Every structure is written in structure tokens, then in C-alpha cells.
Structure 1
Amino acid sequence: MGTTTGTGAGTGDDADSGPPRLTRLTFHGPLSEARAARIVERVAEPLRRVPGGGTVLDLGCGWGELMLRILEAAPAATGVGVDLDADDLERGRASARARGLDGRVVFAEESATDTARGPADVVLCLGSSHTLLPEGAPAPHSADALRALRGLVAPGGRVVLGEGFWQRTPTRDELAAMWPDAGVHEHLYAADLADAAVAAGFRPQWVETASAAEWEEFESAYLADTEEWLTAHPAHPRAAELRERADRHRTAWLRGYRQVLGLAYLTLIPDTAA
């Protein structure tokens, strides 16, 4: 999961390939170990009761860390993660092998848009709701993504959606410091996001939001590999490019979306009355 794209160019600290890629991140988003453990147990408990072991589908999975932890907590379940980033998928496969889970999980390099992988007993969509919609679909993506997720979860299953929301209305200067063409229309507010989940046919079992500490841990870890590499390779041909990219990202966070953009984690149950 994540709100931004990677800054590194390679997977190892190599003068030719560039800095290692996101090795300081356990999750690709502002998610603490404590919160992750609570989410895992919340969805693994009903998953363990599914006849045959149940299934987990991770959309825009990256390296699928949360999915792998759910599979560890539900030993009969199987999982599929889909993403278009080959490096992240290979990191997920390596992690699965190291944990002895490679026989129970598939990491597929494919789009999540109109996926036929469901229905699954647990569906994860963490910071990647945009991957469910056609390229160029207008923002906000939340309501449309929730409707797509409703069709991908099995009866009695669980959806965990990690979705951005505005904590407050951003100012003009804050929007200008964010990503190109950032606009107020791009995200809902937290209450509207919960309402959109209900309108899509869910009951919100749990609503929680990433803390300031989780955001700081994520943002610092996101850039740490690049920053260390730059100090060790100041004259590298790519150093100026990577330095500018890292500086731009840090500015977007500290002058733009810090304490403005939130990340909600919604654990959702399909509403049988919907």
C-alpha cells in the first residue's frame, strides 16, 4: 500500500542501480505493528472458521505483507495478491518463501481493474482503491471502489480498505505543495467515507485512522534509503535527479499533506440487507 511512488531505482545498494528500494518499510503505508496485529486478528478469526480454509485477495498488493500475516494467522487459508510492480511482487514472493507460505499464495502481475479473482473471504485494498477503476476515472475514487469491493467479497467475509481522506479542507498553498494538480475534490472526509461504505452495501465493523506517529514513521522510512545512498554517492550521475525527487517528496509531505491528508482503515462486513 502507499500514497506515493517509489524514489529508489534498484533493490540493492549498488552504485550502478541506485539506492535500495523501500527496504525500511514493512508496510507501504502509515501502519504500525500494533494496528496491523489488531487488523490481522480481526479478519483472521472469522477466516479460520471458513470451510476449506478460506481465501484472501489483496488488490494493489505491493509485497503483500498484511496478506502474508493473515495467512500465518489462518493456517488453512490461501491468498492471491495482484499488482503491476514486478519488483514489489518479487519481494512478496521472497517473503512468502522465507515464511514457508509460497505454496499457499500467488503474486500475480496483473491489473486489479475489473479483476475476476473474487469473490474472496477477505479482500484487502490498502491505499490502492484507484487500481480498481479504469485509468483516468475521475476522483474521488472511494465510492466507486467500495462498490467494486462489494462484488469481490464472499458472503460473511471481510473487506479491509485503507483509504485517504481529508482531515480538514486543505488551503490553496497546501494543495500547491502536494502532487501536481492536487484538488479538494480528490478525497472525501472521514464521515462521508463511512457513509459511502454503507451506501455500497457494507456495515463498518471497525473505523480507525492512522496516527501522526504512523505517518512520520512511514514518511521518514520511505526516504531513508535514498537519503543514505545520496550521502555515500554524492557524485553519482543520478544523484541530482534523486536528490531533487526526495526533496520534492519531503516538501509535499511537510508543506502539503501533513496533518491534512489522513488514512482511514475500514474493516467492512457485507450487509445482508443491502
Structure 2
Amino acid sequence: MTGSLEFHSPLSPERARRIVERLARSRPATVLDVGSGWGALLLHLLDAVPAATGVGIEINPGDVARGRALARRRGLADRVEFVEESAVGTERGPADLVLCVGSGHALTDVPGDFAGSLRELRRLVAPGGRVLYAEGFWQRTPTDAELARMWPGAAVDDHTDLAGLVELAVGAGFRPVWTETATEDEWEQFESGYQAEVEEWLAAEPDHPDAAARRRKADSHRASWLSGYRTVLGMAYLTLAPVGR
């Protein structure tokens, strides 16, 4: 369901371009993408820094295959490696630039351990390097009714607010160089793009044997967004600098 998306995140091309331009200024030689998916942002960075090499860590084999295919198509296959493996305890670092976009959970076996994920990112970034850490946060405290409509078992302590998230980064040994958050339009583009292909298919194939199950899944996700976390859950994009070793 993600073929309509360039990035698996509420991230517009315009924001991605600004982030890439900012991160490329330090001319990183090595880029590590944790929970890379198909590595769209990683590939943009390698385009912007021709001397850099990159590694994307991802456990989803379909995303790994898509990343490799995109790299070949863009002439970057000799500068990037997509590996199908867990990022927990990874020894792939240190790297000059570490990307972790909505994938902090890939760094720890403890659900919701944002502090632990940030400590791992601190371990993986080289001295003088940068980390791009994108993570969800509550824009306001969700009501019980909103939580009941989100993902199964959703709870207030699933996320902190933006100030709390930034303080966790500081506590892990970073200084927040740049703090920005996804707009409502970026969320709408992401959520609509996430479902677009399956909705087109359901419209064209209402009597297909798989239609009922796919319809239930699509309707459940849309309800979770529109009646649950829409305007409640935010996405922060934090550019972090490690404090001296």
C-alpha cells in the first residue's frame, strides 16, 4: 500500500529537500539509515554528497528489495548497501550521519523506550557527526475516546510531547540543532498516499475474493486516523549534534 509514497513518513518533498541540503553541508563520508525502509531519504543524501557511501538497515525484505532496485535505477548501487537485519545492538556504526526516521523502535527491544533509542543513536554517530531523528509526539493529550480509536492498546504514555522528546535527546548527549514538525498537509498526503492503491483496487474489484478482508483493513486504518490520531499525533524531525566524547 506504499507504492504511492516517496517517503514512508509525513514528509513533503520540500521539507526533505531542505533537510538534505542542511545535512549535506557537513559532507558526511558515511551515512547509516536505521529502519531504512526503501531508503528514499538515504538515496537523496547520496545524490547530494557524491563522495559518501551509505548503509540501510531494514528487516522487511520487500522494502530491502525495493531499496536495492531504486539504487540501481539511480546509479547508486555501488555506493549504498541495503541489509536485511535487525538494528538492535548493530555494529554498523559509527557513521558521520545517522538517519532514524520513524524507526527508533528498531534500535531497542523495549517498546516505547525513546531514551534507549536515542542512547543507541548517540553510540552510532561519529564525533562531530549528525543524527536526523524523526519520532511521533502528542500535539496535545489524547482523550480516552481518541485513544480507543487509535492502534490496539494505545495509551497516553505511548508518546511524550515535543518538549519532552527534545529533552530526552538532550539527556542522551545531543544538542538539538534544528527542530521541525510535520504539517497537517504532510500528514494528509502521507495517510492518503498510504491507502491510495488499495482504495483504487477496492473500487475496481469489489467482488474479488480478497476484497472483504482488504476492505476491513483499509476501513480500520482510515478510522484510526480520522477518528483517532488526526491532529493529535505529531511527527518531529530533529537534527541532533552529539556533545563531545
Residue 154 of structure 1 corresponds to which residue in structure 2? 126
2:10 to 27, 30, 33: 30
Whichever residue aligns with residue 72 of structure 1, its letter is: D
SS at 1:179's partner residue? coil
1:67 to 42, 56, 73: 42
SS at 2:55's partner residue? strand
Whichever residue aligns with residue 150 of structure 1, its letter is: R
Whichever residue aligns with residue 257 of structure 1, its letter is: Y
Post-superposition CA distance 1:95-125 (Å, at most 9, x none): 1111100000000000011111000011000
In structure 2, what is the Cα distance between the partners aligned to 1:161 and 1:123?
A: 8
Residue 77 of structure 1 corresponds to which residue in structure 2? 52
SS at 1:96's partner residue? helix
2:216 to 244, 249, 252: 244
SS at 1:25's partner residue? coil
Whether the aligned pair in 1 keeps the contact of 2:105 and 2:111 (CA below 8 Å) is no
SS at 1:213's partner residue? helix
Query: How many correspondences in the alignment?
Result: 245
2:150 to 174, 178, 188: 178
Whichever residue aligns with residue 109 of structure 1, its letter is: E
Structure 1 residue 138: Cα displacement: 4.0
In structure 2, what is the Cα distance between the partners aligned to 1:34 and 1:22?
A: 19
Matched, 1:87 2:58: no
SS at 1:181's partner residue? coil
Residue 183 of structure 2 corresponds to which residue in structure 1? 211
Whichever residue aligns with residue 86 of structure 2, its letter is: S
Residue 106 of structure 1 corresponds to which residue in structure 2? 81
2:197 to 206, 216, 225: 225
Percent of aligned positions with the same letter in both sequences?
Answer: 60
Whether the aligned pair in 1 keeps the contact of 2:181 and 2:236 (CA below 8 Å) is yes
Residue 8 of structure 1 corresponds to which residue in structure 2? none
Whichever residue aligns with residue 37 of structure 2, its letter is: G
In structure 1, what is the Cα distance between the partners aligned to 2:57 and 2:34?
A: 5
Whichever residue aligns with residue 6 of structure 2, its letter is: T
In structure 1, what is the Cα distance between the partners aligned to 2:148 and 2:15?
A: 32
Structure 1 residue 22: Cα displacement: 1.3
Moved over 2 A (4+): none
Post-superposition CA distance 1:28-60 (Å, at most 9, x none): 0100011100110111110x2x5xxx1000000
Matched, 1:58 2:38: no
Structure 1 residue 231: Cα displacement: 1.2
Whichever residue aligns with residue 98 of structure 2, its letter is: V
Post-superposition CA distance 1:189-244 (Å, at most 9, x none): 10011111111000111000000000000000000000001111111111000000
SS at 2:163's partner residue? helix
Whichever residue aligns with residue 58 of structure 1, its letter is: D
2:206 to 222, 234, 238: 234
In structure 2, what is the Cα distance between the partners aligned to 1:259 and 1:231?
A: 28
Gaps of 5+ in 2: none
Matched, 1:120 2:95: yes
SS at 2:25's partner residue? helix
SS at 1:150's partner residue? helix
